[in-house]
Structure 1
Amino acid sequence: MTTNQTLARRVLRAMVGAQHRLTAQRDRGDVPGWVLITLMTAGIVTLLWSVAGPALRDMFTQAINGVSGP
């Protein structure tokens, strides 16, 4: 192996290592943000379900009765 090949391999390893370290730092994520989004989504679904639930149930019952007959 020549000196240029050895140098090129060392440079490539250093670049890959640096990229890995940068990616690892960036991909740590924002856990409190995700928790907040999840809780807000659950709250919105619960609110919509409590408001629209009876109307949806009645609409479903009417649709089933319309298809199956009296």
Structure 2
Amino acid sequence: MGRAVLVIAVLALVIYLLIRLVEKRRGVRQPRPQQPPRRPVVAPDDDVDFLRELERRRRRQQRDGQPEQPDN
């Protein structure tokens, strides 16, 4: 009984590997889902656009004579 199970398992493995080999040669593959490339997380004090916008706001407030408002 144990020998029969072993033979069946080996045959199943061989058949599985043959099927995988044939699919690989034919180019049949499961398509991978396309993921958009991730942008690295940038802290606000490292973000050039953020710093530029802060500087513009500060200059605009100084030019218009408005007191600076704290960001708290």
Verify same fold: TM over 0.5. Answer: no
Structure with larger RCO (C-alpha < 8 A, sep 6+): 2
TM-score between the two structures when normalised by the length of structure 1: 0.40
Larger fraction in helix = 1
TM-score by length of 2: 0.39
